[in-house]
Amino acid sequence: MSKRKQPDEWLATLLPPRKFAHEPPLPAGPVTTGDALLEIPLASLDANPYQTRTALDEKSLDELADSIRSLGLLEPIVVRVKYGRYQVIAGERRVKACYLAGLQKVPAIVRDVTDEQAAEMTVIENLQREDINPMDEARAFRRLADEFRLTGPQIAERTGKSASAVSNSMRLLKLPDRVQDRIQRGKLSAGHAKALLALADHPPEAMLECADKATALSVRNTEKLVAQYLEDHPTDPTMEPGRWLRPGLRDAEQKLSEVLATKVTIHENWGEGAIHIRIAFDDLWQFERLFTALTGQKLKIAYPPREGNDAD
């Protein structure tokens, strides 16, 4: 029995580098578009450049391959024409399972879509999966915001998520790389990460120390661990005058950060008896969401023109 190829080996075999239209005709015949349903050879498919899912569970992939051997592929993949070949938009996992099942062709719906539409379709397909990794989800949202300049409300509307869920997901990208890696590998959950974000004002070593302990703790116990650390290590008032906060205000600061889905800093001026609140926004659409929530109106602002987004 031949040894099974490793994922990187059969991925290279299955989805070869993209080729151009001046090459010999494809095995599938003339390239077709317009929501047509075709049987496309696996060798004619190119990988999805907008794919944000970085890992697949081999056990579930084998189970899907067994099902395909028995019943065939019940749901067509979605592709588009790019550089004279077919580029996968949705269904890359099904393509890989078809390869394992020994199929030569797959049923596919061919769509005529732009780069932006292809990216959105890929993200939406991934977000519909219950087992999507939190870091993959966060990077997908960030890509839509950065590359295609979608606002928070637009991302939320197109993906079926709430604006706060989108914002909270993207906050995971503020975590140190080592913590992000543990989330990616399933050692920490999104709930653990949310608790660790309360340490954003402290040295990175503090978050890493708590993250090491959190791998063996529940989310609730991680929250207690972080709260205890904040109690034992208040921000040094000599470094930032007035930054020391009594426990109740620290709790209020954390709660406001969670509700507003952004960084909130409270300063208590003991001499004047005044409290100042600073709200930080990662980008314009976060501010736009809060402005709309507080005023009931949409923010009127001009966005810079897009560059280099012409469809091929």
137 labelled catalytic: no
What pLDDT does residue 290 have? 82
* pLDDT at residue 44 is higher than 60: yes
What pLDDT does residue 17 have? 38
Range 238-260 average pLDDT:
68
> Which position among 75, 92, 116, 307 bears the catalytic label?
92
3-state percent breakdown (helix, strand, coil) of the chain, nearest 5: 50, 10, 40
Per mean pLDDT, which range of 203-217, 231-245, 246-260, 267-281 is the poorest?
A: 231-245
Range 222-233 average pLDDT:
88
**Cα 154 to Cα 49, 150, 166, 225, 285, distances in angstroms:** 22, 6, 10, 36, 10
Give CA–CA dist 293/302, Å, rounded: 20
Q: 7-114: which CATH architecture?
A: Alpha-Beta Complex (3.90)
What pLDDT does residue 243 have? 53
